Amino acid sequence: MTTTVAVMGAGSWGTAFGSICADTGADVRLWARRPEVADTINAGLGNPEYLPDIGLNEALRATADPDEALSGADIVVLAVPSHALVESLAAWHALVPRDAVAVSLVKGIALDTGRWASEVIRDAWDLPDGRAVVASGPNLARECAQRFPSGTVVAGPDEAVCARVQAICHTPWFRVYTNPDRTGVEVGGAVKNAIALAAGMADGMGYGENTKAMLLTRGLAEMTRLGLALGGRAMTFAGLAGMGDLVATCTSSQSRNRHVGEQLGRGRPLQVIIDEMNMVAEGVKSSPAIAGIARDHDVEMPIVEHVVRVLHDGLDPQDMAVALMGRSPKSEFHGMEEARG
């Protein structure tokens, strides 16, 4: 039987993910906030604002009517930015079919709640825990839409539900792995954005590959410490949603977070950089929330803390580099064993 999938959000990743699901033969309805975006997709012209010059699966149907998108959906995919999650969930609650599975593509924390997207979705829609799933990995939207070989992780506590979600997005060019560690996968997706901001700053200041590699690896240590403290599994952070996404995001010219960091590293003001973009850089708003959760759990995250100070307290990225390099010498596994405990 054909699975009906509602993808709520027609930005770059929602559109690309919807097209991937259509590639598996699922019946996909993509909800776009603006009717003209839906009309353009339905006319076979793709989504030029977010994915210029990319042909989408022609079976993908778009609509600006949330009721039309959600009606009869077996699986509902959330692809709005984290700052719009809470209000969107409330607006759509009454339209969501009772047995639907929810899949979060959100790589951030639902703002004003300080909570991970999957928990917010589960509670807002009164779902059993197992029916709130996340999908996360090194998935730069444009490359996925181009059908370049890529992989992701579908994570949730109910293996059968994860397998159902895997079945609607696993294709010959998009490999989907399941993982029971939803917390770890969600921590990975959010923390890598903060680290990508730092990696971008290093690029903007003209530093080299050693600096990038150190930031990425010590960023992985911060991600792992936080993830372990919250009950995640160490192996998740060595996987696609951890190290994999760090590599893609910290090194790609397509990453919005790395881009914002690079511009900051060149000395440009944050608001000017954001005003030039038509897409979200999730790390800008979620880094302070991540730092707050880390403090609440006594987890040290010096890179994330300094990123927050550059973003929101006017710290100069050059001074961030000096401060991070000037920290006292440590063991490489500092804080890991405590976090596990």
Q: How far apart are CA 186 and CA 219, in angstroms?
A: 15
Encoding tokens for residue 78? 């959330």
Instruction: For the CB of residue 282, give the shortest distance to ligand 13P in the complex, in Å.
Output: 6
**182 annotated to a ligand binding site:** no
Instruction: Please tell me whether residue 247 binds ligand NAI under the rule CB under 6 A.
Output: no
- E-only strand ranges, 3-50: 4-8, 27-31
**Is-contact 233 184, C-beta < 8 A?**
yes
Q: At 5, is the secondary structure helix, strand, or coil?
A: strand
Both tokens of 290, joined, read 């991540």
- The answer to whether 174 and 44 are in contact (CB under 8 A) is no
The alpha carbon of 34 is separated from its chain's Cα centroid by a whole number of angstroms, namely 22
Distance CA 31, CA 207 (A): 41
Q: Which of 37, 127, 140, 223 touches ligand 13P (CB under 6 A)? A: 140
* Closest among 284, 279, 255 to 269, alpha carbons compared: 284
Measured from each CB, the residue nearest to ligand NAI is 11
The structure tokens 């006017």 sit at 314
Of 24 and 150, which CB lies nearer to ligand NAI in the complex structure? 150
Q: Is 319 annotated as a binding residue?
A: no
Nearest CB to ligand 13P, comparing residues 139 and 263:
139
Kindly tell me which residue out of 3, 171, 183, 249 binds ligand 13P, with binding defined by CB under 6 A: 249
Look at residue 261 and give the partner it binds from ligand NAI, ligand 13P, none, a contact being a CB closer than 5 to 8 Å depending on partner kind.
none
Residue range at the interface with ligand NAI (CB under 6 A); choices 19-27, 106-114, 122-130, 223-231: 106-114
* CB proximity list for 274: less than 8 A, separation 6 or greater: 260, 281, 284
- Identify what 249 binds: ligand 13P, ligand NAI, none; CB under 5 to 8 Å per kind: ligand 13P
Whether 330 is catalytic: no
Q: Are 83 and 111 in contact (CB under 8 A)?
A: yes
Span from 54-62, 99-107, 222-230, 259-267 in contact with ligand NAI (CB under 6 A) = 99-107
Examine residue 140 and tell whether it contacts ligand NAI (CB under 6 A). yes
The nearest distance, CB 88 to ligand NAI, in angstroms, is 5
277-316 footprint of ligand 13P as x/- string (CB under 6 A): -----x----------------------------------
Span from 20-28, 103-111, 294-302, 320-328 in contact with ligand NAI (CB under 6 A):
103-111
Distance CA 294, CA 229 (A): 9
* Contact characters 31-50, ligand NAI, x per CB under 6 A: --x----------------x
- What are residue 116's DSSP bridge partners? 109
Segment interacting with ligand NAI, rule: CB under 6 A, options 119-127, 138-146, 163-171, 303-311: 138-146
Max Cα distance, the chain (Å): 60
Rg (CA), the chain: 19
Q: Is there a contact between 156 and 162 (Cβ–Cβ < 8 Å)?
A: yes
**Cβ partners under 8 Å of residue 9, min gap 6:** 31, 33, 78, 79, 80, 81, 105
How big is the site for ligand 13P, counted in residues (CB under 6 A)?
A: 14
Q: Which residues contact ligand 13P by CB under 6 A? A: 107, 138-140, 193, 196, 245, 248-249, 255-258, 282
What are the binding residues for sn-glycerol 3-phosphate?
A: 107, 137, 192, 245, 255-257
List residues with catalytic annotation: 192
Q: Which residues contact ligand NAI by CB under 6 A? A: 9-14, 33, 50, 79-82, 84, 88, 105-108, 139-141, 279-280, 282
